[in-house]
């Protein structure tokens, strides 16, 4: 029976539609807006139908995560293919990584656990600037006798912060490293940036 095939094809399509609908909802209203009933609305079914295609909400997120990794890998490969020197390839790949993160913001968030709902909160809270202020001052001192411009200090501060916050996030979310590797990355990064300041 060819109708079996047609039905299977339709099922595969709905499975895909669920994913597309989910991503659409998230892009429009953020991750909090994503609910089974809204997905159902979007694909013009009722909520329980979704469970015929995904065992639960987590499975949908998992599939979006997989989709994200595949897309990112593809971007990295095309970036690499545009150069021959490894140094140029590496630079292009990390720029592609950067671009992916913002082009597919929602996917990147679910892939690496970047929560944005808290961002409204921490803003407008004066205490949130205390750590930066404290470290800022020391960077300025370290630069002496050269008096660094706002931009110069800013770049140094964010380089520090990025590498350390990045390493923390990766370890919290992904639990990937041995303590030794972490310490090594951390210490060499810090001393490297310090050297780049003191010259």
Q: What residues between 8 and 37 interact with DNA by CB under 7 A?
A: 11, 34-37
CB of 101 closer than 8 Å to CB of 114: no
* Contact partner at residue 49 from DNA, its own copies, none, CB < 5 to 8 Å by partner kind: DNA
Residue 49 or 164 with smaller CB distance to DNA: 49
On the question of a cis peptide bond just before residue 21, with omega within 30 degrees of 0, the verdict is no
Nearest-angstrom CA–CA distance, 59 and 71: 18
Should residue 46 be labelled a site residue for DNA when binding is judged by CB under 7 A?
A: yes
Nearest-angstrom CA–CA distance, 140 and 79: 37
Should residue 95 be labelled a site residue for DNA when binding is judged by CB under 7 A?
A: no
On the question of a cis peptide bond just before residue 23, with omega within 30 degrees of 0, the verdict is no
How many residues bind DNA (CB under 7 A)? The answer is 20
Should residue 67 be labelled a site residue for DNA when binding is judged by CB under 7 A?
A: no
Interface with DNA (CB under 7 A), residue from 51, 69, 94, 158: 51
Nearest-angstrom CA–CA distance, 9 and 14: 9
Residue 61 or 135 with smaller CB distance to DNA: 61
* Contact partner at residue 69 from DNA, its own copies, none, CB < 5 to 8 Å by partner kind: its own copies
Should residue 64 be labelled a site residue for DNA when binding is judged by CB under 7 A?
A: no
* Contact partner at residue 46 from its own copies, DNA, none, CB < 5 to 8 Å by partner kind: DNA
User: In this structure, is the dihedral angle defined by the CA atoms of residues 113, 180, 182 and 80, taken in order, positive or negative?
Assistant: negative
Interface with DNA (CB under 7 A), residue from 24, 49, 135, 164: 49
C-alpha 103 chain-centroid distance: 11
Nearest-angstrom CA–CA distance, 156 and 141: 13
Binding site for DNA (CB under 7 A): 1, 3, 7, 11, 34-38, 45-49, 51-52, 55-58
């Amino acid at each position: 029976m060819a109708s079996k095939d047609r039905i299977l094809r339709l099922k595969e399509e709905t499975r895909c539609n669920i994913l597309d609908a989910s991503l659409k909802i998230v892009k429009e209203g953020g991750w909090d807006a994503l609910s089974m009933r809204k997905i159902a609305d979007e694909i013009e079914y009722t909520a329980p139908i979704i469970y015929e295609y995904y065992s639960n909400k987590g499975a949908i997120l998992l599939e979006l995560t997989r989709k994200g990794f595949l897309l990112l890998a593809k971007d990295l490969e095309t970036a690499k293919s545009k150069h021959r020197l490894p140094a140029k390839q590496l630079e292009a790949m990390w720029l592609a990584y950067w671009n992916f993160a913002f082009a597919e913001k929602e996917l990147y968030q679910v892939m690496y656990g970047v929560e944005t709902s808290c961002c409204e909160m921490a803003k407008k809270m004066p205490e949130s600037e205390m750590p930066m202020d404290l470290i800022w001052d020391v960077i300025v001192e370290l630069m002496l006798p050269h008096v660094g411009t706002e931009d110069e200090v800013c770049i140094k501060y964010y380089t520090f912060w990025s590498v350390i916050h990045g390493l923390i996030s990766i370890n919290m979310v992904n639990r990937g490293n041995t303590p030794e590797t972490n310490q090594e990355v951390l210490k060499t990064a810090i001393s490297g940036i310090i050297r780049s300041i003191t010259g």
